[in-house]
Chains A and B, each alone.
Chain A
């Protein structure tokens, strides 16, 4: 898994999963992150680089909370 993105809510997480998959990335929604870190606990795991994944999300007006793992540059 190249990238893990914390999402603001399950709605955004599932939406992100849909747009990432339709853009050719594999993606799944997991709820394993610590709730104390903010967000909703839902994260996106994708095999696309974070930079690309974040770009795809932003193009679809989905704003990830933060990058948990991976490189955005």
Chain B
């Protein structure tokens, strides 16, 4: 028995429709989208557009402004490095993943930008106020995770995005843990949404999306062939070509489309409710155990994942014991050292329980029994 409770890293298993979409792409889409006018290339171009259209509709964007990337990190790097220029200022939160924090820090280290870290406070309104007070006249972008990948804590991103819109600041949302779990669309000040395909959208690993309202020009991270304006040395200035160089991942794009359809048909609310119920069982089973530390703040809402530790054990030791019992959970710093520092687990990290729509109550009860044994 192997049970995946590390769905916040990558959902597994994948829906049958997603697996079929990948197989269909590899069996039928033989050409390169946008390159060539022959039958295979046109079939692939049509399929790629259809996938783009599905994603665009789901997130409230134009198909042209829906960019396929290789993961959420790729999308965030494209947005952050493509928007911020010499002399700009950026604000990030103290709960950011390295996928946002590192590109911002790299620009700051080179002296290109200055960057402020807004502290995540005890309440969402205080956190939003920290962001607002960090903004300066030269602030070009606010980069904020919708929900922490460590604790699941939902950040007050809608409030901060609304403020950003008033100041004409580009608001970049890291939706790594939120896409497919809570409803998200462009608008309300959200200029760019970055996400993986392989988490809450149930697509293949190595997929991601950058969704933009195109109000802020993003310079390419990568230059090359786009199948358009091929007689010019300069990169096309229109989307998606501006940000998509090289042959696209058609199998990945079709898996994203199938994943979004899976989420849409099942209902994002139903998925959220199911996974939240499983988290509730997990919390109810363990909250009164004095040897189990749960990292939650009742002032915040959460996406369905729970960070915890067992007293006297490192997070890695706990995860290792659980792995030997058939439960796959992620331990350590989760590539988010600032978030761990914020919740006081900067040294040991934590263990993360993250169910998916395919997880079952019986599996959660079985996991909790094992955790209780370790905590004895």
Binds A, one of B44-52, B182-190, B310-318: B44-52
CB <8 Å contact, A41 and B49: no
Interface centre among A8, A30, A38 (most CB of B within 10 A): A8
- Interface of A, secondary structure class, is loop
Residues in chain A near residue B62, CB distance under 8 A: 61
The complex places the Cα of A3 from the Cα of B65 at a distance, in Å, of 26
CB <8 Å contact, A30 and B37: yes
How many pairs, one residue from A and one from B, have CB atoms within 8 Å of each other in the complex? 67
The complex places the Cα of A72 from the Cα of B330 at a distance, in Å, of 60
CB <8 Å contact, B34 and A11: yes
Q: Known contacts A38-B231, A40-B227, A40-B230: does B37 contact A11 (CB below 8 Å)?
A: no
B229 within 8 A of A: yes
Binds A, one of B129-137, B236-244, B365-373: B236-244
B33 within 8 A of A: yes
- Size class of the B contact interface (CB-based, 8 Å): 20 to 34
A62 to chain B, nearest CB (A): 7
The complex places the Cα of A14 from the Cα of B46 at a distance, in Å, of 7
- Interface of B, secondary structure class, is loop
A35 to chain B, nearest CB (A): 6
Residues in chain A near residue B45, CB distance under 8 A: 10, 14, 29
A20 to chain B, nearest CB (A): 14
Residues in chain B near residue A63, CB distance under 8 A: 238
Residues in chain B near residue A32, CB distance under 8 A: 37
Residues of B15-47 whose CB lies within 8 A of A: 33-34, 36-37, 42, 45-46
CB <8 Å contact, A40 and B49: no
CB <8 Å contact, A8 and B228: yes
CB <8 Å contact, A35 and B230: yes
A70 within 8 A of B: no
Residues in chain B near residue A9, CB distance under 8 A: 34, 226-228, 236, 238, 240-241
